[in-house]
Amino acid sequence: MKRSLLSRWWYAFIRVVLWTLAIFAFRVRCHGRERLPKSGGYLLLSNHQSFLDPPLVGMVIPQRINFLARQSLFKNSLFGAFLHSLDTIPLDRDGMGIAGLKETLRRLKRGEIVLIFPEGTRSADGEMLPLKAGFSALAQRSNVPLVPIAIDGAYEAFPRSAKWPRRAVIHLCVGEPISPETANRLEDPALVALVSERLHACQDVARRQRRLALNDG
């Protein structure tokens, strides 16, 4: 997708504004960014602690990424226009749906980056939920690396029960990518287990580094 100069400028502007706010409000840090693929498309797989997760991941990834959002979120005219301005991929009520799957695959095959949350919903306590296998079809059809990235502290900043975010410390960690060859070789349950293992390892690092930051004041 060849985006206009205005679209590229708008994404960069939003990213800088949010990054600046997040540094002051949440002292955001990201570990392991050197593991990100240097070129080509890939599928980012993240745990899901709060509504803050999509912008947090978008801020720490140097390249532009593609977001997914429920179709219902586009109904609000103002927020819907904002989602459209970022080329967000709409999902149907029951999941990704055929249209969402096809558009996601198109973007991955064009060498773009797509973020998904394989838990399917936000955690109620900050701990990772069992992963759903829906991403396996994308992994096998797109033939791109799978990159795990975990967040810790977003639950403390904006739990499901809260109406507004609050100050906290948030750390993220990028894990070792899973090659397309490995993803294609594994059956769905084994691939889900591998992604879950790497996401948990990433969250352990993010949680450890976050606690060190808290102890340092």
Is the pLDDT at 27 greater than 80? The verdict is: yes
What residue ranges in 97-210 does DSSP mark as E strands?
A: 113-116, 146-152, 171-174
| pLDDT, position 96 | 60
Q: Per residue in 110-146, is it b (16+ CB within 10 Å) or e — as a string?
A: eebbbbbbbbeebbeebebbebeeebbebbeebebbb
Q: Are 149 and 45 in contact (CB under 8 A)?
A: yes
91-148 pLDDT per residue, tens: 875 556 788 889 999 999 999 999 999 999 999 999 999 999 989 989 989 999 999 9
For residue 150, what pLDDT band results from cuts at 50, 70 and 90?
A: very high
Tell whether domain 5-215 is in CATH 1.10.10.10.
no
CA distance 21 to 6: 22
The domains of the chain are located at 5-215
From 167, 177, 206, select the one nearest 27 (Cα to Cα).
167
* Mean pLDDT across the chain: 94
For residue 216, what pLDDT band results from cuts at 50, 70 and 90?
A: confident
153/138: higher pLDDT = 153
CA distance 124 to 50: 9
